[in-house]
Amino acid sequence: MKVFDSSRRRAIEDFRAYAAERAIEFKDLEAIEENARRLSILDPLLTGKRFAYIGESDHFIHEKYEYRLLMLKYLAGRGFTHLGEEVGASDGMRIDRFIATGDESQLERVTIYGYAGATRSDRDDTPTGILRESFGDAYPTALFAAEQKRFAHRLRKIGVRFFGFDIDPLPGGGYEDLAEMLDSIPADATIDRIRNALRRLPGETIDQEITRLDEALRLIEAGRLDALRHSATCLRDSFDYVRIMYPAKTFDALNPGMAFRERYMHRQVDRMLGQMRADEKLALMSHNMHLCRAPDAVAGNDAGAGPGGKTDPPLGAWLAARYPGEIFSVWMLIGRGRDSQPFPTLSKEIREKAGTLNALLGEIGDCFVLPIDPSDPRARLLTENIEIMHDGNGGVRTAIARQADAIFFVRDVTPLRA
């Protein structure tokens, strides 16, 4: 044991020396332009990469937005013009229209920002199981919307093609998307049949609604209407997700829905790749664990359900397997503070846990980016399993050098802001 402890202490001291030499500190996280220029330290790691992962450990903190903007400003200057976020496909279409046109009404029609104009009034599709207490008033919808809208405005200045690659958690907006598409297509008998199949029927169950959408999809497929097919499929799949996920009574029972969701994410990214030229580059923003490159290198995950539902590869691993050597990844890690997470069984207080990578990073500085160089023997701590804290004070053990090319660390974080 003494030999092990001595070896660990040497690895930690070597890591401190490595970080002191290689970390780039940021005094003011909101100084996006200046900070983006200093990210040129990452250029060697980005060479030859077509895909960039912008990972985060907590969805419900204010500081993630400056981090994202900083990374996107840097990446846009290196040719990354397409951006996907962990939001629903229908919501993503509206955000993309805002970025392209500046039409504020598009942001007012995003369901995750609180828009309810497309929600059924004759049926309640909100969770009845373990997720119930994290929906409704518990969810920080107004704060999240305020942060996201400010973020969208700043994305316009960067200039990206945006899409959402996640399930729409409150399905319905897709009906409005489909109606707008159908209005742009000359009417004929086929279009009339599609309109009729898409018409919501009073009192129908969610199973009946999915069956009806399947019939609409058969009609759409026959007409070879790709954009219409895509939106109708996203709508049907989102209802299917709700049917699987929202009645689940335990975290373990969420896993089939989490697997379904991850496969859906794979398809959304695959579709975007089919629309991009081979020389175009794509950035993805999501939780670190969705963007995990090597799930086989993760141990001790204490989450009852997580990306892939313990059966399917996380999005990051799926894409990395298809394009080995073409992925550049950054994981945002945090130290301490508070967040706005909605789960009543989890604490909003983020605690710094001794012995974790987060705590060690907190000894090095308050806010910095650290390139990971596995060939430097002083960085061997990053090539070995070490505990890393994520949201809800939960942790995983992994060799972060297998998951990311750089760490972006913010020690003190705060809740979402209006």
Q: Is 9 within a domain?
A: yes
Q: Is 190 within a domain?
A: no
| DSSP state letters, 235-297 | HHHHHHHHHHHTT--SSGGGHHHHHHHHHHHHHHHHHHHHHS-TT-EEEEEEETTTT-S-GGG
Q: Is 212 within a domain?
A: no
pLDDT attached to residue 8: 85
Q: Is 89 within a domain?
A: yes
To which residue do tokens 């940021």 refer? 26
Q: Is 180 within a domain?
A: no
pTM of the model: 0.96
User: Which of 389, 385, 410, 411 has its CA nearest to residue 399?
Assistant: 385
pLDDT attached to residue 346: 87
pLDDT attached to residue 395: 86
Q: Is 350 within a domain?
A: yes
Q: Phi and psi of 8, rounded to 5°?
A: -65, -40
Residue 113, sorted as left (phi over 0), alpha (psi -120 to 50) or beta, turns out to be alpha
pLDDT attached to residue 158: 95
pLDDT attached to residue 303: 61
Number of domains in the chain: 1
Q: Phi and psi of 303, rounded to 5°?
A: -80, 135
Mean pLDDT in consecutive groups of 10 residues from the start of the chain, 418 residues: 71 95 96 95 97 97 98 97 97 97 97 94 94 91 98 96 96 96 92 96 97 97 90 98 96 95 98 96 97 90 79 97 97 97 92 95 97 97 95 91 98 98
User: Which of 301, 387, 336, 282 has its CA nearest to residue 58?
Assistant: 336
Q: Is 274 within a domain?
A: yes
The parent domain of residue 276 ranges over: 2-169+251-413
pLDDT attached to residue 405: 98
pLDDT attached to residue 1: 43
Q: Is 214 within a domain?
A: no
- Dihedral of the CA atoms 142, 147, 149, 151 (nearest 10)? -170
